[in-house]
Amino acid sequence: MSAAATPMTTAEMVDLITDYALDPKALDVVVLDLSGASAFTDAFVIATGRSDRQVKAIHDAIHQGMKNKHGMLPNHVEGLAEGNWVLLDYGDVVVHVFTPATREYYRLETLWGDVPRRAVSAGEGEAPPESAA
């Protein structure tokens, strides 16, 4: 049974998503703060998986963590069948998970060159909180 959706800030959502992405060893995780630059979302979380299989595993970790522990489902998911670029749209936060070649080809970070950004590495934050039993 899923936990009830808990209201959270964009920063809290970003922290949870990055923690879930890092669990299956996502690489080069970057957060772009789009709050002053975009009308459709407040943040992008961009990550790389070494293969389409790892990209799907990163998607699964984020999707299951947000659903099972926080009662949140993405508004939309794209690219899961192909696996070289998976997008999860959580409204305030949009997640992009790429294979290395696809990330290099699209260079999404360069499209938002003027926005604040931060790299996230394993062990930076706390483990995602468990829901109360």
In a domain, 124, yes or no: no
In a domain, 127, yes or no: no
Q: Establish how many alpha carbons lie within 13 A of residue 81's alpha carbon, considering only the half-sphere containing its beta carbon.
A: 1
Structure confidence by residue, pLDDT tens digits, 88-131: 999 999 999 999 999 999 999 999 888 999 999 876 544 443 43
In a domain, 27, yes or no: yes
Report the DSSP beta bridge partners of residue 88. Answer: 77, 95
Number of domains in the chain: 1
Contacts of 128 (CB under 8 A, 6+ apart): 16, 19, 20, 65, 69
Domain of residue 91, CATH code: 3.30.460.10
Domain of residue 49, residue span = 10-117
Structure confidence by residue, pLDDT tens digits, 33-70: 999 898 899 999 999 999 999 999 999 999 999 999 99
pTM: 0.87
In a domain, 129, yes or no: no
